[in-house]
Amino acid sequence: MSDLPLIQADRAVPPPAATTSTGGRRRRLRLLSRTDRVVITLMVLVPLLLVTGFVWLPAVATVLLSGTNWDGIGPLNEIEFVGARNYSDVVNIYPPFVPAIQHNLLWLAALFVVATPFGMFLAVLLDKELRGSRFYQTALYLPVVLSLALIGFVWQLLYSRDQGLINAVFGSNVDWYGDSSVNIWAVMVASGWRHVGYIMLLYLAGLKGVDPSLREAAAVDGASESRTFFRVVFPVMRPINIIVLVVTVIESLRAFDLVWVVNKGRNGLELISALVTQNVVGEASRIGFGSALATIMLVVSLVFITIYLATVMRENRQ
Partner 1 sequence: MSTATATRRTEDGVEAPARRKLTPLRLLLHGFLITVALTWLFPIAWAVLTSLRSYEYTAANGYASFGGWTLDNYVTAWRTAEFGKHFLNSVYITVPAVLLTLFLASCVAFVIARFSWKLNLVLLGVFTAANLLPQQALLIPLFRLFTEVPLPEFMSDSELLYDSYWGLILINVAFQCGFCVFVLSNYMKALPRDLYEAAMVDGASIWRQYWQVTMPLCRPALAALATLEVTWIYNEFFWATVLMRTGDKFPVTSSLNNLRGEFFTDNNLVSAGSVLVAIPTLVIFFMLQRHFVRGLTLGASKG
- Looking at this protein, which amino acid is placed at residue 138? T
Measure Cα distances from 150 to 51, 155, 216, 262, 279 in Å: 28, 9, 44, 11, 24
* Smallest separation (angstroms) from partner 1 to the CB of 190: 8
Of the candidate residues 100, 122, 123, 218, the single one contacting partner 1 (CB under 8 A)? 122
* Smallest separation (angstroms) from partner 1 to the CB of 223: 17
Nearer to partner 1, 84 or 303 (CB): 303
Residue 172 interacts with partner 1 (CB under 8 A): yes or no = no
Question: Nearest-5° angle of CA 8, CA 12, CA 15?
Answer: 125
Nearer to partner 1, 4 or 91 (CB): 4
Q: What is d(CA 245, CA 247) in angstroms, rounded to the nearest whole number?
A: 5
Phi, psi values for residue 147, rounded to 5°: -75, 155
Q: What is d(CA 195, CA 151) in angstroms, rounded to the nearest whole number?
A: 12
Q: Which of 236, 200, 201 is nearest to 218 (CA)?
A: 236
Nearer to partner 1, 3 or 78 (CB): 3
- Residue 103 near residue 269, CB atoms below 8 Å: yes
Residue 59 interacts with partner 1 (CB under 8 A): yes or no = yes
* Smallest separation (angstroms) from partner 1 to the CB of 46: 6
* Smallest separation (angstroms) from partner 1 to the CB of 230: 19
Query: Which of these ranges, 2-10, 93-101, 175-183, 216-224, lies near partner 1 under the rule CB under 8 A?
Result: 2-10
* Smallest separation (angstroms) from partner 1 to the CB of 234: 16
Q: Which of 192, 209, 196, 194 is nearest to 127 (CA)?
A: 209
- Residue 189 near residue 197, CB atoms below 8 Å: no
Query: Which of these ranges, 36-44, 88-96, 179-187, 214-222, lies near partner 1 under the rule CB under 8 A?
Result: 36-44
Of the candidate residues 91, 109, 139, 217, the single one contacting partner 1 (CB under 8 A)? 139
Binding mask 173-202 for partner 1 (x = CB under 8 A): --------------------x--xxx--xx
Number of other CB atoms surrounding residue 114 within 10 Å: 15
DSSP state of 94: -
* Smallest separation (angstroms) from partner 1 to the CB of 84: 18
Binding to partner 1 in span 248-307, by CB under 8 A: 250, 253-254, 256-257, 260-261, 272-274, 276-277, 280-281, 287, 290-291, 294-295, 297-298, 301-302, 305
Question: End-to-end CA distance of the chain, in Å?
Answer: 25
Question: Nearest-5° angle of CA 166, CA 171, CA 177?
Answer: 40
Query: Which of these ranges, 77-85, 105-113, 154-162, 172-180, lies near partner 1 under the rule CB under 8 A?
Result: 154-162
The 3-state DSSP class for residue 265 equals coil
Residue 34 interacts with partner 1 (CB under 8 A): yes or no = no
Q: Which of 150, 142, 107, 101 is nearest to 258 (CA)?
A: 150
Nearer to partner 1, 90 or 253 (CB): 253
Nearer to partner 1, 69 or 301 (CB): 301
* Smallest separation (angstroms) from partner 1 to the CB of 232: 19
Binding to partner 1 in span 62-91, by CB under 8 A: 62, 65, 72
